[in-house]
Amino acid sequence: MVSDQSVKEVHYNILKKEVDANRDIYQSMLQRVKEASIVAALRSSDVRVVSPGTVAVSPYRPSLALNLSLGFLLGLTFSTCYILLRERNDASLRSPGQSVKHLNVPELAVIPSARIGNSERIPLTLRNLSGSTALAESKNSLSIGKSALMDKDMVQYCHDETMMADAYRSAITSILLSRVNGVSPRVILVTSPRPKAGKTTTVANLGISLAEIGRRVLLIDGDLRRPRLGKLFGLQFATGLSDALIDGGTGPITLNSVIRTTPVPGLSVLPGGSEPANISKLLHSTYLDSLIETARSEYDFVLIDSPPMMGMADARLLSRNADGVILISRAGETSPEQLGEAKERLADDGTPVIGTILNGCDMRIEDPSYVSGYNSYAGVSRS
């Protein structure tokens, strides 16, 4: 019995070892089958990983630098095309001589578009046209309050040798040499087809230029809707033309009582005065005719600042007492058609046009060689 039991145990161990061996073979074959199926599922590739991938610091898309560059180039292209298209379609007056070609009237002057800074203003009380000492002191006396400073639009009064000042001197030379029916005009109306052409600035500087050569000049603010001429000389709250017309010569307000002197020798100003209720009625007044005739007899020149012509009759009513009219145009804004229409209306009224003045012409663009040449010429020492 014992020997049979030992034999069975030995036989069992042999079978167990065979089972374990077969199991190991089966597991090994099963593993190989899995590996084979995986390899079969993969596609063959020649790619070889050289270095492992890294996380990018910035996104690949969108590229900020590229988008900004493209936007800048596209914006520059479209802007250039737009500017060229606008320039080509812009028929406004820009360069000297254009008004002569379209209107067949003289161009009295071309005023450059240079500006005067606040630091270049000169105190009114210290300016002396005939004395260089007072002028030198005034340029160094910028500590005086604003109320004592002349407006920056008074170019001719603030500067002796600039292109703008010389342009206004050129304008009065043309006026002095002009003739209307063989007679030199003395009462001159200054107007424009549209607003913001620079009429008031032109009237003030022309008056100063005439006073500079010894003429007695009266500036009349005929723009009763928006009087500004008196404001340039610090007379915005003074009684003026409208008050005299309302009084009608029957009260205490006379022409001499409303005329104000200025720090410029020989230059007087008749401000616009208070705001009237019916401007057209005042300008139709026969007393206006007598006022201007009185001014004609007492002054060498009378310059009248008037509102724009289009849409209002004020300038045409004032022009009936003038020897001639100067039409002001602004470069880049006034068209030849607007200027021609204003001239036709004045011609229908029997008022001659003495000439035109082109304001705000950018000489640095229109004629840069002239600008550089002028600066070198005007800057030559006279010692």
Give the model confidence (pLDDT) of 267-303 as tens digits: 999 998 888 878 888 888 888 989 999 999 999 999 9
Are 137 and 200 found together in one domain? no
- The H-assigned helical ranges of the chain are 2-41, 64-89, 98-103, 132-139, 155-158, 163-177, 199-212, 229-232, 241-247, 255-258, 279-283, 286-298, 314-319, 336-348, 363-366, 368-378
Give the model confidence (pLDDT) of 153-209 as tens digits: 665 555 555 777 888 889 999 999 998 888 899 999 999 998 888 899 999 999 999
- 186 within some domain: yes
Are 353 and 228 found together in one domain? yes
Among 331, 332, 353, residue whose Cα is nearest residue 341:
353
284 or 144: whose pLDDT is higher? 284
Are 214 and 323 found together in one domain? yes
pLDDT at 276: 80
Cα 292 to chain centroid distance, Å, stands at 35
CATH code of the domain in which 290 resides = 3.40.50.300
- Angle of CA points 13, 14, 18, to nearest 5°: 115
CA dihedral 192, 277, 319, 257 (to 10 degrees): -110
pLDDT at 85: 79
pLDDT at 43: 60
**How many other β-carbons are positioned within 10 Å of the β-carbon of residue 294?**
14
- 41 within some domain: no
Cβ 126 vs Cβ 366: under 8 Å:
no
Are 171 and 303 found together in one domain? yes
> The tokens of 103 are what?
């209107």
pLDDT at 91: 64
pLDDT at 21: 86
Are 108 and 180 found together in one domain? yes
- 227 within some domain: yes
With a CB cutoff of 8 Å and minimum separation 6, the contacts of 368 are none
Percent of the chain's residues with pLDDT above 70: 77
Q: How many structural domains compose the chain?
A: 2
Cβ 241 vs Cβ 270: under 8 Å:
yes
Q: How far apart are CA 82 and CA 90, in angstroms?
A: 12
Domain that holds residue 295: 98-114+154-378
- 160 within some domain: yes
The helix/strand/coil state of 70 is helix
**How many other β-carbons are positioned within 10 Å of the β-carbon of residue 233?**
26
pTM as predicted = 0.68
pLDDT at 285: 86
Are 109 and 232 found together in one domain? yes
**Angle, in degrees to the nearest 10, between helices 163-177 and 368-378:** 90
pLDDT average, residue stretch 116-136: 36
299 or 119: whose pLDDT is higher? 299
Q: How far apart are CA 123 and CA 359, in angstroms?
A: 26
Among 371, 364, 362, 357, residue whose Cα is nearest residue 198:
357
Are 327 and 217 found together in one domain? yes
pLDDT at 152: 56
The helix/strand/coil state of 261 is strand
Per DSSP, the residues of 281-334 read HHHT-HHHHHHHHHHHHH-SEEEEE---STT-SHHHHHHTT-SEEEEEEETTT-
pLDDT at 383 over 60: no
pLDDT at 153: 62
Are 212 and 323 found together in one domain? yes
With a CB cutoff of 8 Å and minimum separation 6, the contacts of 115 are 152
Among 260, 239, 231, 266, residue whose Cα is nearest residue 154:
231
- 367 within some domain: yes
pLDDT at 215 over 90: yes
Q: What residue type is assigned to position 270 of the chain?
A: L
pLDDT at 352 over 70: yes
The length of the chain is: 383
Are 184 and 262 found together in one domain? yes
pLDDT band for position 144 (50/70/90)?
very low
Cβ 248 vs Cβ 242: under 8 Å:
no
> The tokens of 161 are what?
């040798």
Cβ 114 vs Cβ 164: under 8 Å:
yes
24 or 382: whose pLDDT is higher? 24
pLDDT at 134: 35
291 or 32: whose pLDDT is higher? 291
> The tokens of 231 are what?
């404001």
pLDDT at 256: 84
- 90 within some domain: no
pLDDT band for position 231 (50/70/90)?
confident
Q: How far apart are CA 350 and CA 18, in angstroms?
A: 137
pLDDT band for position 140 (50/70/90)?
very low
Cβ 216 vs Cβ 299: under 8 Å:
yes
- 258 within some domain: yes
pLDDT average, residue stretch 64-76: 89
- 54 within some domain: no
37 or 265: whose pLDDT is higher? 265
Q: How far apart are CA 139 and CA 158, in angstroms?
A: 9
Cβ 241 vs Cβ 220: under 8 Å:
yes
pLDDT at 36: 74
The helix/strand/coil state of 107 is strand
Are 268 and 291 found together in one domain? yes
Are 356 and 210 found together in one domain? yes
**How many other β-carbons are positioned within 10 Å of the β-carbon of residue 133?**
8
pLDDT at 327 over 90: yes
Listed range (136-145, 274-283, 312-321) with the worst mean pLDDT: 136-145
Are 224 and 332 found together in one domain? yes
Mean pLDDT of the chain: 79
Q: How far apart are CA 108 and CA 97, in angstroms?
A: 10
Beta bridge partners of 178: none
pLDDT at 322: 93
